[in-house]
Amino acid sequence: MIAWGALQNPEWTREVELCLAFAETIEGANLETARERAAALANEGDRTFATEAPASPAELPEADSRLADYLTRLQADGADIDAVVREIAADQTFAPSPSPERDALEAAVTAYVRPIPAAQAERNLVAYQALARIDPEDQTYRDRVARYEQAIEAEREQLQRTARALEGRLVRTTAEFDGSSWARHPSSPRYQDIRNYVTLYLIESGTGQQTMELFFNYTSRSGWLFVDSASINIDGETTRVPVGQWFRDNDTEIWEFASLRGDAAVSLARRIAEADRVVVRFNGQQFYDDYVVSDADKRVMREMLAMWDVISQE
């Protein structure tokens, strides 16, 4: 008690005075020894406090540089704005304080999301999730996030219903020899010599094993291209189409085609189906021809993929 110094709680004053008053009568108590020990402890505390060095600048936590980094990347020439916005949306610990830099970042993301059509629910959702990270106090951003989450869920449920009904509506061709079959979406091209297209088929062996086939078809009325490879540009990213041999046939028109199956087919089909713009370049021996994948073809692939997700889990 002697070492406590001045009491902060005046209600304890009476109790402390009584303890000190009766200290002489308590067996084994030595008031002078207590005072000496209290003084020694006080001096030791003063020395410890005096020798403690303040934290050096290197030991202080670094300032969060993410705000400046995101802003710099968004404002850079040729910036991949989609990638930066996705990164902000996924950054759960990003919570910048109000500042001119935060206002600038918010304005940049707002300018990005404004022209996105409402039908592109996924892109809108990510953009508003990013804005809600930047300014969590803005109720409008939270409302938009909730709205697009509901729209995506409703679309997903509708796609599941369509997928379950689609299997029974597929146009199926069965081989008499071994019972194997291939089945197409009723909205996919019936004949190969009609137009260029990319589509998905459900392939089933004679023993009942199923897989998906991604099919690339080139057709022309003016002559052979002699396609030996193809490239695909998906929202600005170009890669080689990983197919093997190209085949060709003709009657009054010509058509050339190739395909791939299994997980690689499903993975590439998902990228095509969900992209904004997809261009397939058919590379011939001397020339090439480009095909912009239509919204109808992408819708067919989305529905076939949804059906595959259902039947492959059964």
Q: Over the stretch 136-159, which tens digit does the pLDDT of each residue have?
A: 999 999 999 999 999 989 988 887
Residues 308, 212 contacting (CB under 8 angstroms): yes
DSSP string, the chain: -GGG-S-S-GGGHHHHHHHHHTGGGSTT--HHHHHHHHHHHHHHHHHHHHHPPPPPGGGSPPPP-HHHHHHHHHHSTT--HHHHHHHHHH-TT--PPSSHHHHHHHHHHHHHHTTS-TT-HHHHHHHHHHHHHH-TT-HHHHHHHHHHHHHHHHHHHHHHHHHHHHGGG-EEEE-TTT--EEEE-TTS-SSTTS--EEEEEEEE-TTS-EEEEEEEEEEESS------EEEEEETTEEEE------EEEESSSEEEEEEEETHHHHHHHHHHHH-S-EEEEEE-SS-EEEEEPPHHHHHHHHHHHHHHHHHTT-
Instruction: Say whether pLDDT at 99 is over 60.
Output: yes
The count of residues in the chain is 314
Q: What is the mean pLDDT of residues 226-251?
A: 92
**What's residue 63's pLDDT?**
46
- pLDDT at position 59, please? 43
Would you place residue 251 in the very low, low, confident or very high pLDDT band (cuts 50, 70, 90)? Answer: confident
Question: Is pLDDT at 90 greater than 90 in this prediction?
Answer: yes
Average pLDDT, integer, range 262-279: 94
CA distance 199 to 268: 11
Is pLDDT of 197 > 60?
A: yes
Mean pLDDT (the chain, rounded): 83
Q: How many CA atoms lie within 13 A of 199 on its CB side?
A: 23
pLDDT by residue (tens digit) across 7-65? 555 555 555 554 555 455 455 555 565 566 555 555 555 554 444 444 444 443 344 78
At residue 118, does pLDDT exceed 90? no
Spatial distance between the Cα atoms of 132 and 105, rounded to a whole number of angstroms: 12
pLDDT at 258 over 80: yes
Q: Letter for the amino acid at 239? A: T
Residue 298: closest CA among 136, 151, 104, 159: 159
Phi and psi for 281 in degrees, rounded to 5?
-105, 115
